[in-house]
Every structure is written in structure tokens, then in C-alpha cells.
Amino acid sequence: MKVLIVDDEVDLSATLVERLEIRGFDAVAVETGAQALDQIRNNIFNVVVLDIKLKGEDGVDVMKQIKQVKKNLPVILLTGHMSKEANEEGLKAGAIDYVIKPIDIEDLIVKLREAVALYS
Amino acid sequence: MKENLSDHRGGSRENIVFFGRIMANVSHEFNNIITVISELAGLLKDLSLLARKGRPIPNDKIESLSDNISKQVARGKHLVSHMNHFSHSADNAREEVDLDQVVENMQVLTDRLFKNRQTDLTVSNPSEGISLSTDPFELRRILFACLDQFLDASSHEVSVVIKRPENGENSELQVSGQVETIPPDFLDKLNALKEQAQAINGQLLYEKNETQILIRLILSSNRD
């Protein structure tokens, strides 16, 4: 399973890549929406993990652009918000699920597998 | 020189909104720091489980993870220190403040707000520090309100210049930047800020054209 991680916290995404690779995933990390779109246009991913608050960018807007390029690519939002309303907003905009920071890696993996199973 | 809280502080609603915006921004930063540390700790655990199964952890990997954790702890300490200065700025209605430190404090605490809007905030300090007697919390709130005008105006570059005038009597903060648009409520907000500046014995002036705003906050040490 190939996972694209989009987060401007470089130390976080690099560590997440390593943890996913230890668990048998193929993961790539980028920092910006533009880099994410570039990756998606040129590579095949099964799922995207996207921070909802990128520096200078709204993660939900980035997700909408991703959906324009690959309509059936599932997106899981990474969010720091504890507010259920804010997270529900992301789901309404097209995310398949969300994970609240700090990340529970096992929870993320369950959601990655569910997302891919649903879209395959 | 310290003085008890007095009535000159702005409306409590404004103060709460200001405090709330700073707290929301800083708590987001803290959550990011905690998340990175949590992932680094998780990776260490993953690697130690692999080591038990016979895949040793290279020493340089442990050193690199340890360095990363230390980096995040230093980031958190820096933020905590500035949050603490900010919180204590509400303790006294008047005390000696260092303008450099006040500006640096607001720069650190609003860093993510500016980065979120892709706005660069630069600060120019004079060669020697400037101290004056004022309300440290109100000064921060008015400075933040000035900076906020540039976020509303979609500015990409904002500069704060700390100036000591020639006669040495009054200090001045100049906030300026190119803007894409002047917000419709700009004049109302600036006029309200003028009154608030007067309450801390300051004077707020501004110049604007279609593409640039300059706000001058002139601060006198003499209160009466």
C-alpha cells in the first residue's frame, strides 16, 4: 500500500514515514499542497494523509484539488482540533476519515486499511 | 515601577479576544510539538521491538532521534518562556518594559498566524535597548491589533521598526507593509486603536495609500 503524507512539520512526517515503513507500508512525505499534487499526478498512491492546517494553505482546499486530479483517491485528514464540528466539516468536504494529533499509529493504520478497502 | 490594575484597560471583551487568539495559536504549536515528540518516542519503541527480534539499532540512529527530541523540547521551552512573559504582562497596569522584548514576545507568539497567511514579519531593533514605563499588556494588545491590520489586508511582508527619536523623549514603533487591499473597516479599527493608545499615554498615527500602510505608535514614558 502506497501512502502520501502531506504535512509541513517535517520531523513529524519523516518519522511517520519510518513508522509506516516498519509496518510494511510504502510511504512518501511532502510539505505543501503543490508538492502533493505533483506527486499524485506522477505516481500511484492508495491513500493520502493530509494535515488540515498547512502553513499558508487550507488543507480542505488542498483536498479538493487532490480530488479534482484523482477523484477516487481516499484522503484522511490529520487534525489538531478536538472540536467534532471542525472534523465533521472535513468529512463533509470529502475526507474519508480523520485522525487527531497526537497520532495513535495503530488507529491510523486501521483507518488506512479501511480507506483503501472501501475504495478498491 | 509597578502600579496596580486600573480602569484604563480596554473593554474586557477585546482583552479576552486578544488573549484567546494568542492562546489558540500557541496551543496549536504546542500540540504540534507534542505530536512530533510522541512520534519520535513511538519510533524508538518500534526500533527497540525490532532489536529484540535481532535487528540492532545503529548508534547514529539513536543519536539522531535523541537530537530530534531535544530540538522539540527546546522549541517547547522557547514557547513556554514567551507564553509566561505574555501571561505575566497582565499582572500590573504599569511597569518598566523593554520595547525589544515586547516586540520579540509578540513576534514569537504570532509566528504561526503570520506563516499561515504566508506573511513574513521582520523586526528592526535599535543598537541599544529602549525601556519605558507603560501598561505591558495593553501595549502588546495594541501592537497585535496593528499587526492584525496587515493580516486582514493580505500583506505578504510586514516590518516592525523600533525607533528612538533624536530628542530621546519618545519611543516609537512603526508597523508597515505593502497590502493587496485596504479592509473596509480599517478606519474604524484604527480610530478605536487611537483611543486605546491614548489610554496608555501613546499616540497612534497612520498613513495609507492603495498599496501601503504605515502605522506609528508613539510612546511616551511620562504618564501625566
pLDDT class of B164 with cuts at 50, 70, 90: confident
- By the 10 Å C-beta count (0-12 exposed, 13-18 middle, 19+ buried), A82 is classed as exposed
Q: What is the pLDDT of residues B166-178, one digit of tens each?
A: 666 788 999 999 9
Q: Is the pLDDT of residue B139 over 60?
A: yes
Position B69 pLDDT exceeds 60: yes
Whether the pLDDT of residue B224 is over 60: the answer is no
Q: pLDDT band for position B125 (50/70/90)?
A: confident
A53 neighbourhood in chain B, CB within 8 Å: 28, 116
How near does any CA of chain A get to the CA of B149, in Å?
17
Tell me if B143 sits within 8 A of B81, measured CB to CB.
no
Find where cell 485528514 sits.
Answer: A77
pLDDT tens digits along B13-26: 888 999 999 999 99
Measure in Å the smallest separation between the Cα of B165 and chain A Cα atoms: 36
For residues A88-116, average pLDDT: 95
- In which band, very low, low, confident or very high, does the pLDDT at A117 lie, cut at 50, 70 and 90? very high
The better pLDDT of the pair B222, B21 is held by B21
Given this model, what pLDDT does residue B29 score? 94
Q: In this predicted structure, what is the pLDDT of residue B9?
A: 61
What percentage of chain A carries pLDDT values higher than 70? Answer: 99
User: B170-178 and B95-98: which strand pairing?
Assistant: unpaired
In a mutational test of the A interface, the residue from B32, B45, B117, B156 whose CB has the highest number of chain A CBs within 10 Å is B32
Region A33-45: what's the mean pLDDT?
98
Question: What is the model's pLDDT at position B11?
Answer: 58
CATH code of A2-119, in short, is 3.40.50.2300
Mean pLDDT of B204-211: 90
At residue A85, the pLDDT reads: 78
* Single pTM value for the model: 0.89
Beta-carbon contacts below 8 Å between A and B: 56
Q: For residue B115, give Cα distances in angstroms to A109, B25, B53, B109.
A: 31, 11, 44, 12
Residue B7 has pLDDT above 70, yes or no: no
Question: Hey, are the CB atoms on A102 and B39 less than 8 Å from each other?
Answer: yes
Chain mean pLDDT for chain A = 94
Q: Which residues of B touch A (CB under 8 A)?
A: 28, 31-32, 34-36, 38-40, 42-43, 46-47, 50, 68, 71-72, 112, 115-118
CA dihedral (A27, A33, A37, A42) in degrees, to 10, reads -40
Contact A103 B50 (CB under 8 A): no
Reduce the secondary structure of B7-66 to three states and give it as a string. Answer: CCCCCHHHHHHHHHHHHHHHHHHHHHHHHHHHHHHHHHHHHHHHHHCCCCCCHHHHHHHH
Where do the domains of chain B lie?
A: 12-88, 95-220
Looking at residue B53, its amino acid is: K
- How confident is residue A26, by pLDDT bands cut at 50, 70 and 90? very high
Topology given in CATH for the domain delimited by B95-220:
Heat Shock Protein 90 (3.30.565)
- Under a CB-based contact definition with an 8 Å cutoff, are residues B199 and B10 in contact? yes
pLDDT over 80 at B5, yes or no? no
Query: Using one digit for the tens of pLDDT, what is the confidence trace for B70-81?
Result: 999 999 999 999
Give yes or no for A11 touching B (CB within 8 A): yes
Nearest to A112 by CA among B48, B109, B27, A120: A120
- pLDDT tens digits, B45-59: 999 999 999 999 999
| Residue B181: predicted pLDDT | 84
Find chain A residues with C-beta within 8 A of B71's C-beta: 11
Do residues B125 and B191 make contact, with C-beta atoms less than 8 angstroms apart? no
pLDDT of A119 reads 87
pLDDT at residue B162 above 70? Answer: yes
Residue B221 has pLDDT above 90, yes or no: no
Residue ranges with strand state E in B152-201: 157-163, 170-178
- Whether chain B has a CB inside 8 Å of the CB on A117: the answer is no
- Please report residues of A whose CB lies closer than 8 A to that of B40: 11, 15
CB contact under 8 A, B34 and A53: no
Alpha-helical (H) ranges within B53-158 are 59-88, 99-109, 111-116, 136-152
pLDDT at B165: 66
Q: Residue B2's pLDDT is what?
A: 52
pLDDT band at B193 (very low <50, low <70, confident <90, very high): very high
CB nearest to B35's CB, from A19, A55, A101 = A101
Among A18, A19, A103, whose Cβ lies nearest the Cβ of B35?
A103
Domains of chain A by residue range = 2-119
- Span between the terminal Cα atoms of chain A, in Å: 11
| Residue B165 CA, distance from chain mean position | 24
Indicate whether A68 pLDDT > 90: yes
Residues B22-38 have pLDDT tens digits of 999 999 999 999 999 99
Is-cis flag, bond preceding B56, omega within 30?
A: no
